[in-house]
Amino acid sequence: MRVLSGIQPSGRLHLGNYFGAIRQYLELQEKGNECFYFVANLHALTSTRDKEELEKATLHVATGYLALGIDPERSVFFLQSDVPQVTELTWILNCLCPVSMMEKGTSYKDKVAKGLPANMGLFDYPVLQAADILIYNSEVVPVGADQKQHLEMTRDLAIKFNMAYGETFTIPEPYIIPEMAVVPGIDGQKMSKSYNNTIEIFQSDSSTKKRCSQIVTDSTPLDAPKDPEKCTVFALLKLLAEPAEVEEIAQKYRSGGYGYGQAKARLAELINEKFAPAREKYIQLEKDKDFVRDVLREGGRKARQVAEETITRVRNACGILTNR
């Protein structure tokens, strides 16, 4: 099946990105699916105004995905901005999209409530996302609970187009990620760059240890029993440790005599062990930016081929004449 997903280049990759999405993308790739993965740098313009920051973040995300295992021989990996057909389709879909549909967007309301400027790009974000999905004839889209509404909007727009102009688009299905991890940050909230509570993937071992030491815990004394299920450190340990070790640590929590400092130290060890190969590969790729750009360039070429076939069908269906 054809799978489509993208990630905004809004900062450094962290554990929430990996366990919430990238890990599942790698599994879908390993299962032999036809995967289209892209860096959503056009979407990033809704909140980023710094040219150098956006360029740097875009290359970081692309390099990080490759270091973590996205294989350009098995997946189409590219930049959103390298496929101009997407923005053309966005306009066409906008002409079918009811304003009321966008006004119901919970993601827009949440972001504005958190202080992002209420610009048209942010308001219209779901339509650009719909164009991303539909232009590659995507059959399934990996989503978490917070993204389901956008996929429902995509399906609605595809159905509206098909009803108006004839069967043109594949109607995508949600791929509800099993065991979709909600990864807590060092303050206990959902790990997010906007909360400045992340643990980065591509940082030094010592920086990882320092960041883990900053995880907020309660003041329960070392010797006293602790509830592992109410501890952010333990929640992160469950993502990284083997089941037997998770159970062993849980018993230590409940028995007392096991401090949060010990749990934090073990968490840092597990993070450093897990991502050591990816960190080494990331360093190598950083020294060969031309290779990363070549991968993105070739991925963009493949993506444009599919997108041009789709947009040609759309133009013909709508009656858009071109003299190309």
Q: 190 an active-site residue? A: yes
Q: 210 an active-site residue? A: no
> Do residues 280 and 208 make contact, with C-beta atoms less than 8 angstroms apart?
no
pLDDT, residue 106, reads 80
Q: Who's near 56: CB < 8 A, 6+ residues apart?
A: none
Domains and CATH numbers, the chain: 2-182+289-318 (3.40.50.620), 203-284 (1.10.240.10)
Query: How far is residue 254's CA from residue 277's CA, in Å, rounded to a whole number?
Result: 34
Query: How far is residue 82's CA from residue 126's CA, in Å, rounded to a whole number?
Result: 19
Query: How far is residue 266's CA from residue 240's CA, in Å, rounded to a whole number?
Result: 10
What are the φ and ψ backbone dihedral angles of 76, each rounded to 5 degrees?
-85, 115
Torsion of CA 88, 92, 98, 102, to 10 degrees: -10
Secondary structure class of 174 (helix, strand, coil): strand
Give how far the C-alpha of residue 92 lies from the chain's centroid of Cα atoms, to the nearest Å: 26
Average pLDDT value for the chain: 94
Q: Are strands 173-176 and 2-7 parallel, antiparallel or unpaired?
A: unpaired
Query: How far is residue 287's CA from residue 298's CA, in Å, rounded to a whole number?
Result: 19
Torsion of CA 264, 268, 271, 274, to 10 degrees: -120
In this prediction the pTM is 0.94
pLDDT, residue 283, reads 98
Query: How far is residue 179's CA from residue 82's CA, in Å, rounded to a whole number?
Result: 33
Query: How far is residue 157's CA from residue 97's CA, in Å, rounded to a whole number?
Result: 7
Residue from 56, 160, 190, 302 carrying the catalytic annotation: 190
Q: What is the pLDDT of residues 209-267, one digit of tens each?
A: 999 999 999 999 999 999 999 999 999 999 999 999 999 999 999 999 999 999 999 99
Q: Which two tokens stand for residue 79?
A: 């930049």
Secondary structure class of 278 (helix, strand, coil): helix
Q: Quick one: which of 7, 58, 78, 1 has its CA closest to 35?
A: 1
pLDDT, residue 47, reads 85
Residue from 109, 114, 160, 193 carrying the catalytic annotation: 193
Q: 193 an active-site residue? A: yes
Q: Which residues of the chain carry a pLDDT beneath 50?
A: none
Residue from 31, 56, 104, 111 carrying the catalytic annotation: 111
What are the φ and ψ backbone dihedral angles of 175, each rounded to 5 degrees?
-105, 95
Q: Which two tokens stand for residue 85?
A: 């057909």
The residue type of 317 is A
Around 285, how many Cα atoms within 13 Å sit in the side-chain half-sphere? 23
Query: How far is residue 176's CA from residue 178's CA, in Å, rounded to a whole number?
Result: 6
Give me the helix-helix angle, 289-318 and 51-68, nearest 10°: 100
